[in-house]
Amino acid sequence: MQVKVISTNSGKFAEISKFFEGLDVQLEMQKLELLEIQADTLEAVVSRKLASVEESVGNCLVDDSGLFIDALSGFPGVYSSYVYRTIGVNGICKLMRGVENRSAHFECLFGFRINGRDYFFKGECTGEITDNPRGSGGFGFDPIFVPEGYSQTFAELPIEEKNRISHRGRALQHLRKFLENLLEKS
């Protein structure tokens, strides 16, 4: 089975690829600029992204993720990509200076189109925001997010461990189970 991963982020593609190892699925990264609407939910953003992919692309996978910080009323949330590009991890650290409640969570939603039908898979990971960025791995807000039960940021964890516990990893675990069942039936 061929699946096009619609993304311009090679780090994200590498994480996704690990989850498909051992399955009869060939992934191809396709760099398409999709319309990314500003909406209140990941569901609305991912649904619109998936709808903007031409049917001729075939089986495809799109996603959106957000970092939701409790003390900032869920900000940056669905605007995480924009916030990362404009103020980055240091800007978030500045906003969090002096804030005691450091709790936050990441959410990821994948939209998967196969044979003309759309399916959605969600994952979540709770944790805390650090005072300063740490680590050189990962991408985005990984250097300032410590998952619950850990002392290292996502950027400090080995990719295999991050993939196992992250919001994206959890969503991909649901997607992998779906694909295993689908491939078993065919």
How far apart CA 172 and CA 38 sit, in angstroms, is 24
> Which token pair is 40?
């209140």
Specify whether 64 is catalytic: yes
> Which token pair is 68?
């939701």
Please provide the DSSP assignment of 62-122 as one string: EEEEEEEEGGGTT-EETTHHHHHHHTHHHHHHHHTTT-S--EEEEEEEEEEEETTEEEEEE
Tell me how crowded residue 139 is: count the other CB atoms within 10 A of its CB. 15
**Given 24, 63, 64, 142, the catalytic residue:** 64
Beta strand spans in 115-185 (E): 117-129, 145-147
Active-site annotation, residues: 64
